[in-house]
Amino acid sequence: MDTRQTLTDIAIKEFHCDPEKIREDATIKDLGIDSLGLLEFIFRIEEVFAVRIGNEDAEKIRTLDDIADLVDRLRPQAAA
């Protein structure tokens, strides 16, 4: 499963983000996701990828790439 593509699909299909705005340097705010939306997005990510994103990590999220890197880092731990 490609993490970045899955996150992009979730952003577009479930959070109605404009596909034209999804770029490497686009922030979560640029995508139209506010702080409450980010929490919902994180909950969905935890469900899809079977990971747990802590508050400290969540506070560092700025872009989809940040989330993809975090998920990829957490996934091996989830399998252990």
Choosing among 1.10.287.40, 1.10.1200.10, 3.90.1300.10, 1.10.10.1100, the CATH entry for 3-79 is 1.10.1200.10
Q: Domain coordinates of the chain in residue numbers? A: 3-79
Does the global pTM surpass 0.75?
yes
Q: With both helix axes pointing from N to C terminus, report the angle between 35-49 and 3-13 in degrees, rounded to the nearest 10.
A: 130
Tokens in use for 26?
């686009």
Rounded-to-integer distance, Cα 43 and Cα 46, Å: 5
The tens digit of pLDDT for each residue in 21-55 reads 998 789 999 999 999 999 999 999 999 999 999 99
pLDDT in the model for residue 11: 95
Band of the pLDDT at 56, cuts 50, 70, 90? Answer: very high
3-state secondary structure of 60: coil
Strands (E), 1-80: none
What's residue 77's pLDDT?
A: 52
**Under a CB-based contact definition with an 8 Å cutoff, are residues 28 and 63 in contact?**
yes
Distance CA 10, CA 8 (A): 5
Instruction: Give the tens place of pLDDT for each residue, 62-77.
Output: 999 999 999 999 987 5
